[in-house]
Amino acid sequence: MSDRDPLLGAVPYAAYLDLQINDAGELWLPFRDDLIGNFHIGALHGGVVAAALECAVLVWLRRQGHAAPRTIDFTIDYLRPALSRDLHLTATPVRIGRAVATVRVDAWQVDRRRPVAAGHGNFGLGGPRS
């Protein structure tokens, strides 16, 4: 695991959330008590889940060589509560063009086949590829 990956540092909110990436490029958000939004069921705050999804795409695009991706639009579907455990994130490209990338991202906890949230967005690919 490379917990201080420079790609994470390039997305400041990813660093704030303590988003992690391993050598295989798999992203996850380690659980912390201060990320809970619903104390009755111990669920992560929806804004934390949304931010993790969006940051995961930005980091994924940087790993693909896009130096300065920026969000154009991003839609979140909350599918079930994200409970008090790590949140894993998997980005999947829908289409990568010259100027715009369309990417889907899934957040899951115990079982990849049971996502807790999904995001879908378009991202500008300004700047040269590194």
Report the run of H or E that residue 100 belongs to, with start and end. Answer: strand 100-108
Condensed to tens digits (0 to 9), the pLDDT of residues 71-129 reads: 999 999 999 999 999 999 999 999 999 999 999 999 999 999 999 999 999 999 975 55
Calpha distance 12→28 (Å, rounded): 16
Task: State phi, psi for 75 to the nearest 5 degrees.
Answer: -120, 135
Give me the pLDDT at residue 4, please: 59
- Nearest C-alpha neighbor of 65 from the set 98, 111, 30: 98
- Express as a percent the part of the chain with pLDDT over 70: 94
**Which residue has tokens 């154009």?**
72
DSSP result, 24-44: T--EEE---GGGEEETTTTEE
Entry pTM: 0.89
Confidence label for 1 from pLDDT (cuts 50, 70 and 90): very low
Burial (CB count within 10 angstroms: exposed 0-12, middle 13-18, buried 19+), residue 11: buried
Structural domains in the chain, sorted by start: 6-124 (3.10.129.10)
Give me the pLDDT at residue 15, please: 85
Instruction: Tell me the two tokens of residue 109.
Output: 């906890």
